[in-house]
């Protein structure tokens, strides 16, 4: 191609009275046919970038429609393998399950939130309007799960930590009575609520949380826990479905017939297990 510029005098545009030559539009049309017409979106500019927005254009989108039970099973195996066990902590005879390694890994943290979402969508009749998390480990994953479910998040805290008008509910612990509180206007009347916490032990704190939700007009659809100390029968105190994400001890502990949280002593000497910071403790660390 010549580097000499083409002037108007030597080559007036098509349609000008001095330019009677044939149009080149038919020739040019073929070269632009691969471009999408203006009435259709260009996929190169409108498609969601997977790294910038992994959940698509909506931002918070369920993964359950394309997920299988096998996928959930794999997630549970990875999460269960991430837990650390500490024998004789915080006192002799207690096998303590530490959940904190899950949160130190971005991949495991994401696995946890995805697994919880899949469990909610599979096990409960309806997606909750509100996730209620119990102080304090319910705060670790409750807000993230709420975002995935397009739900609100409301904390239930120990007495004296929330401002404004409050409702209060007491529950028994091994060393006396403790109290939970919730802000009176935190949940609208008739909103559906899922209560979440890390460990289901005796069920006292979960029952107190459920009572608080009902006091301010919420409708409990269920309770969701990471783990459960089944030998304490805590779920018997709750009046809504209970779902536990992970199983008890590993295969070696099960061979010893020691369920999650069970002490190494005889069944008659089982210690009560509450508010552990992991899965098993006889008292607050």
* pLDDT tens column, 175-223: 789 999 999 999 999 999 999 999 998 999 999 999 999 999 999 999 9
Catalytic residue among 61, 167, 174, 230: 174
3-state SS class at 15:
coil
Q: What is the pLDDT of residue 60?
A: 44
Active-site residue 174, yes or no? yes
Catalytic residue among 97, 119, 135, 137: 137
Q: What is the pLDDT of residue 231?
A: 87
134, β-bridge pairs: 156
d(Cα 159, Cα 156) in Å, to the nearest integer?
A: 9
d(Cα 123, Cα 102) in Å, to the nearest integer?
A: 23
The angle that helices 69-82 and 106-123 make with each other, rounded to 10 degrees, is 140
Active-site residue 284, yes or no? no
Contacts of 275 (CB under 8 A, 6+ apart): 173, 199, 201, 205, 281, 284
d(Cα 232, Cα 95) in Å, to the nearest integer?
A: 15
Is this model's pTM higher than 0.75 or not? no
Query: Is the preceding omega at residue 212 within 30 degrees of 0, hence cis?
Result: no
- Quick one: how many helices (H) and strands (E) in the chain? 8, 9
Residue 17: exposed, middle, or buried by beta-carbon count in 10 A (0-12, 13-18, 19+)?
exposed
One digit per residue, the tens of pLDDT, for the chain of length 285 reads: 545 555 545 556 555 556 665 555 544 444 444 454 444 455 444 444 443 334 443 444 445 444 578 999 999 999 999 999 999 998 898 888 999 999 999 999 999 999 999 999 999 989 999 999 999 999 999 999 999 999 999 999 999 999 999 999 999 987 789 999 999 999 999 999 999 999 998 999 999 999 999 999 999 999 999 999 888 899 999 999 999 999 754 334 444 444 444 433 333 344 444 444 455 543 333
Q: What is the pLDDT of residue 280?
A: 52
At CB < 8 A and 24+ separation, what contacts does 157-165 make?
157/181, 157/182, 161/135
Nearest to 199 by CA among 153, 149, 245, 161: 245
Q: Assess contact for 217 and 189: CB atoms under 8 A.
A: yes
Please report the domains of the chain, with CATH numbers, ordered by start residue: 67-269 (3.40.50.2020)
Is beta strand 192-200 parallel, antiparallel or unpaired with respect to 95-98? unpaired
């Amino acid at each position: 191609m010549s580097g000499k510029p083409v002037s108007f005098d030597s080559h007036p545009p098509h349609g000008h009275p001095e330019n009677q030559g044939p149009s080149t539009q038919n020739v040019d049309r073929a070269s632009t046919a691969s471009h999408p017409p203006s009435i259709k979106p260009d996929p190169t500019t409108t498609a969601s970038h997977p790294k910038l927005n992994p959940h698509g254009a909506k931002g918070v989108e369920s993964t359950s429609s394309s997920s299988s039970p096998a996928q959930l099973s794999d997630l549970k195996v990875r999460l269960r393998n991430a837990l650390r066990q500490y024998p004789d902590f915080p006192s002799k005879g207690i096998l303590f399950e530490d959940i904190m390694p899950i949160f130190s890994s971005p991949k495991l943290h994401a696995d946890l939130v995805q697994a919880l979402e899949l469990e909610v969508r599979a096990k409960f009749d309806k997606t909750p309007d509100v996730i209620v998390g119990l102080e304090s480990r319910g705060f670790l994953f409750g807000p993230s799960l709420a975002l995935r479910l397009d739900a609100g998040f409301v904390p239930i805290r120990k007495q004296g930590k929330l401002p404004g008008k409050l409702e209060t509910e007491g529950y028994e612990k091994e060393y006396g009575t403790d109290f939970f509180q919730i802000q009176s206007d935190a949940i609208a009347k008739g909103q559906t609520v899922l209560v979440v916490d890390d460990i289901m032990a005796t069920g006292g704190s979960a029952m107190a949380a459920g009572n608080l939700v009902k006091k301010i007009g919420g409708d409990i659809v269920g309770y969701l826990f990471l783990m459960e100390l089944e030998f304490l029968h805590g779920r018997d105190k709750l009046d809504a479905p209970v779902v536990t994400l992970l199983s008890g001890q590993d295969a070696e502990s099960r061979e010893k017939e020691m369920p999650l949280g069970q002490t190494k002593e005889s069944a008659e000497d089982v210690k009560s297990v509450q508010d552990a910071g992991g899965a098993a403790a006889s008292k607050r660390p």
